[in-house]
Structure 1
Amino acid sequence: MQIQINTDRNIEGREVLSNHVKAMVEHGLDRFSEQLTRVEVHISDENSEKRGDNDKRCVIEARIENRQPVAVTHQDADLDAAVRGAVDKLKNMMSSMLGRQKNK
């Protein structure tokens, strides 16, 4: 599984953050690593310097073998929570999709 991290210009500490996000994605999606060919994570700060509720956004696009890509989005007050929320949503979606495939 190849993981690519993209951030907008408002995100600081890109290299450290990138390594942390990569580890979260690998850990969260570990059981699907054989079916996933590529995962793209897009992290952004919607309000830049301004303070606001749920202004951190994480979009994860996953490319699954022999299927159309799927994407999930999660917004939260901090980056860690936004990434964790998006990973959880993707994990639930993949469980549902691949569980149905096994039942056929």
Structure 2
Amino acid sequence: MQIQINTGSGIHGGEDLNRWAETEIASVLERFSDQLTRVEAHLTDQNGEKGGPEDKQCVLEARPVGQHPVAATHRAGSVEEAVRGAADSMAHLLDSKFGRLHHAKGGETIRHMPAPD
């Protein structure tokens, strides 16, 4: 799984931030690594110099093998919180997506149960 970090003009942190974000995303999504080709993170500052309670945003786009991309967004007061929140949201989304692919709805049906004696 390849992880790419993209930062907007209002996000500062350079290579250290990119390395931290990459490590954080990889650790949260590690269990899906064989099912994803790439994860892109887009970090932006929504209000620029003005600031605000939830002005940092992280949008994660994951590309599952052989399927359409999926995205998760999280806004927070800091870049770190936004990255963690988006990674957690993506993990829940992927759990749901891959769970539906591999499990029948509702599990066993009555047609597959043995007849009573």
Asked if TM exceeds 0.5, the reply is: yes
In the alignment, structure 2 segments of 5+ residues that lack a partner are 105-117
Point out the structure with max Rg over C-alpha: 2
**TM-score, scaled to structure 2:** 0.86
Q: Matched residue pairs, number?
A: 104
For the residues of structure 2 that align with 1:51 and 1:69, how far apart are their CA atoms? 31
For the residues of structure 1 that align with 2:93 and 2:28, how far apart are their CA atoms? 12
For the residues of structure 1 that align with 2:51 and 2:84, how far apart are their CA atoms? 21
Does 1:77 find its partner at 2:77?
yes
Identity %: 46
For the residues of structure 2 that align with 1:69 and 1:60, how far apart are their CA atoms? 10
The C-alpha deviation readout for 1:32-69, integer Å capped at 9, x for no partner, is 00000000000011111112110000000000001100
1:17 match:
17
Q: Secondary structure at the match of 2:34?
A: coil
For the residues of structure 2 that align with 1:13 and 1:70, how far apart are their CA atoms? 26
1:34 match:
34
In the alignment, structure 1 segments of 5+ residues that lack a partner are none
For the residues of structure 2 that align with 1:84 and 1:91, how far apart are their CA atoms? 11
Query: Once the 2 structures are TM-superposed, how far is the Cα of residue 16 of structure 1 from its aligned partner?
Result: 0.6
For the residues of structure 2 that align with 1:14 and 1:54, how far apart are their CA atoms? 21
